[in-house]
Homo-oligomer: A and B are copies of this chain.
Amino acid sequence: MNSDFSIAVHCVAYLAKKQNQRVTSEDIAQSVSVHPVRLRKILSTLRKENIITSKEGAKGGFSLNDQPEHITLDKIFKITSEETLVPKCPDSNENCPIGKNLSDILIRVCHNAEEHFLNYLKGVTIKDIIDEINNS
């Protein structure tokens, strides 16, 4: 798994802290310590999923579409990292009854386990994160 998920959460939390302002990728990059181009790539997927809005050109930037209490972490995880908990099994031996069938079974099992992972994240909102930051 790459760190797109944690970077995306960071971006969204940052935008939530600056609600109703327009923030540049340069600005967010300062906080996350990640290259602005990489951020824009991640922000771009968040925009396509309607989490944020972007505006090009001078005085452009990014802003949040929704209230922090309505944005749950499972949604961000799905956008950035869905199926990454499902292992890539090596292409095992087709002539072996175990090798032949195991990977499909394991993929299904891990997919179900990921659902439970996501279900927990569904209970955590960006507001929860912000609140925790404020209390620390």
- A: residues with CB less than 8 A from B are 1, 3, 5-7, 9-10, 13-14, 17, 30-34, 73, 84-85, 87-93, 96-99, 101-106, 109, 112-121, 124, 129, 132-133, 136
Contact = CB atoms under 8 A, between A and B. Distances in A.
Copy total for this chain? 2
A87 B133 contact: no
Nearest to A114: B117
Nearest to A106: B6
A130 to B, nearest CB: 8
Given A85-B85, A98-B10, A3 B33 contact: no
Contacts of A113: 117-118, 120-121
Contacts of A98: 10, 13-14, 17, 31, 133
B93 A30 contact: yes
Residue picked from A3, A91, A120, A124, most chain B C-beta under 10 Å = A120
A109 B121 contact: yes
A97 B131 CA distance: 12
Contacts of A114: 117
Contact of A87 (B1, B31, B118, B119): B1
Contact of A101 (B6, B115, B120, B133): B133
